[in-house]
Chains A and B, each alone.
Chain A
Amino acid sequence: MKRTFELLSSMQFTTVILAVLVFWFAWGILLAESPFYEGGFKIMNSALVPVWFSGDKQPPLLLKVWFVGLCSAMLILAVNLVFCSWNKLIRLMKGNVLRSRMVILVIHVVFGLVALGHFGSFLLGYRYENILLRKGQSFSLPQGYTLAVREIHFKDDMKLLNQSPNEHVPLAVLSQGNFSEVAFLRNGETEAQGRAYFMKPFVWKDIQVTLKRFTPPKEKKGPEFVPRTPSVRLIVSRNPVKGLVLFLFPVMIAGIALYLMMTWRSGGGGNNKAPWQEPGGHGM
């Protein structure tokens, strides 16, 4: 039992899992760059994990296997993290209190929570990508909500919309005059209303409406050509753990900065004793 505990909390174990994860992500790069799996990754980005396994459009089997493998490796890393943190906590409780070690413990715990938050964001809430709407159109959301596009404002030259996104003149797209007025309705009544700009989404409660791009109106050209307003491509997402991750990530950064300042002179050891000099020592 003790041997298993030591193995699960050892640095060797951490190194092996990290090496496996590096190779796993390298494999992921190869898959993402392959034209055969490119579409699969698009599906993965357009919906949350439960839809990948039960929806109409599912990513290829290999991508699902890759994802399950990734989750398994992360789970093993989490086990290693828990055992290491437990080890450190025991040592701290025995009175071997070093402030830098406490900071390391906090950093590890916060890292674990950030990773858990990322995993939670794959499962919780919802995500609808590439919702193409014109003025006056709406889109049904869970919990009885409806997203309606009230108005589309595009002040710049409509010709810009026929260019590829990389060619867009950014000032035109980022202009404060270009936005979409959207509203959340429930039982026909407006619950909230706001503007979604490019890179400045409209957020209500924890539902986010992101303006991805404007698309040119489809209409026949002729002598009676009357320019109409463009459509908008929206992303609607609800991520209940977003706030937690966005809060904890800077906490982790601040923890590392604090640890770096505390150990600058000693080079990571504190009291001239490096963490790697301790049996089962775990640290930076």
Chain B
Amino acid sequence: MKTFIFPGYVSIWVAYAATLLAVCLGWNRLSRFLSVAGVALNGCVLAVITVVSGVAPVFEIFSGILFVTFFLGLLGVFLAAPERGGLGVGIWVWIEMVVLLVVTLFFPKEPPSYRLHHADWSVVMFHGFRCLALASACFAAAHFFVFRSRRGERKTLRPVFNQGRNFLLLSALFFLCAEYAGILWCQNGWGDFWHWSTAFFQSTIILLLLMAAFHPPGKPPMSNDIQALLGMMIPMVMLTVTIVKALS
């Protein structure tokens, strides 16, 4: 069963890259078919990783990013309608998917080894909610990319901006759930819910950026621009933290 992981991963690559190409060319039916196939394959690979490793596919960067692309792909399939002409939300979602997959190229494509703590539910929740937060933040960023890139259509793009804000708030919600699971993990494993360490400081920076995104100064359009800019920046910071953690 383990042998299925790498071919499955390559198939996911092909399906998502082809989806992006089809979306760019405006072949909506084909892009729909490819995206659904890609998400289904993604789900299958995650299931295999879970069966082979015996743990949830959220710990190592490879399986974690595949979990993010699965959730982001679902959002892309069901909530990002293809647009005729221009850079729509759909295109940005599939660009993000490919960028996420590019990150996995630099890491081992293996199921996570069974490690300390991986059986504890608070640890699983911590990593799982972090993945969901990243996927939601990426989806929000896709909306903000559209909002920022089409400056002349601000009024008609109001619903797009609002949807971006909704998913950014959902990302904050998932991130806070991860933090709460992390608090319980730390309390049970180290006897306190706060630790003076790099990991805690990184989490706090992400929380502060999320707070800043929901407290933009000034009035529209400036405040909207700031919120969109921060909304685009946050998934990049989250991804950077994930990569740094995987490299250390």
Instruction: Identify the A interface with B (CB < 8 A).
Output: 10-12, 14-15, 18-19, 21-22, 25-26, 28-29, 32-33, 41, 44-45, 118, 121-122, 127, 129, 165-166, 168, 170-171, 173-174, 199-201, 208, 210, 212, 235-237, 239, 242, 245-246, 249-250, 252-253, 256-257, 259-260, 264, 266-268, 274, 276-277, 282-284
Contacts and interface: CB of A to CB of B under 8 A. Distances in A.
A168 B220 contact: no
Interface string B199-219: 001101100110110111111
29 contacts: A11-B215, A11-B217, A11-B223, A12-B217, A21-B204, A22-B209, A25-B208, A32-B196, A32-B197, A41-B197, A121-B192, A121-B194, A170-B118, A174-B119, A199-B120, A210-B189, A237-B191, A246-B183, A246-B184, A246-B187, A249-B176, A249-B179, A257-B173, A267-B158, A268-B162, A268-B165, A268-B169, A274-B220, A276-B223
A117 to B, nearest CB: 9
Contact of B117 (A122, A170, A208, A259): A170
A163 to B, nearest CB: 11
Interface in B157-190: 158-159, 161-163, 165-166, 169-170, 172-173, 176-177, 179-180, 183-184, 187-190
A28 B119 contact: no
Nearest to B114: A170
Given A208-B191, A283-B214, A28 B201 contact: yes
Given A21-B208, A41-B197, A118-B194, A11 B119 contact: no
Nearest to A239: B192
B165, B191, B214: residue with the most chain A Cβ atoms closer than 10 Å? B191
A34 B193 CA distance: 23
Given A41-B196, A266-B162, A267-B165, 4 more contacts: A29-B198, A122-B194, A127-B192, A208-B187
Contacts of B223: 11, 276
Nearest to B176: A253
B125 to A, nearest CB: 12
Given A15-B212, A201-B188, A284-B214, A168 B116 contact: yes
B205 A15 contact: no
Given A210-B188, A235-B191, A242-B187, A256 B117 contact: no
B19 to A, nearest CB: 27
A57 to B, nearest CB: 14
A43 B117 CA distance: 25
A282 B217 CA distance: 9
B214 A166 contact: no
Contact of A282 (B212, B215, B218): B215
Contacts of A12: 217-218
A283 B215 CA distance: 6
A236 B217 CA distance: 45
A260 B190 contact: no
Interface residues of B, number: 53
Contacts of B217: 10-12, 14-15
A173 B115 CA distance: 11
Contact of A45 (B197, B208, B218): B197
Contacts of B209: 22
B216 A32 contact: no
B150 interface: no
Contacts of A284: 165, 169, 214
Nearest to A45: B196
A199 B188 contact: yes
B234 to A, nearest CB: 12
B195 interface: yes
The 3 A-B pairs of least Cβ separation, nearest first, read: A267-B162, A235-B191, A210-B191
B201 A32 contact: yes
Nearest to B205: A25
B172 A256 contact: yes
Contacts of B212: 14-15, 18-19, 22
B220 A276 contact: yes
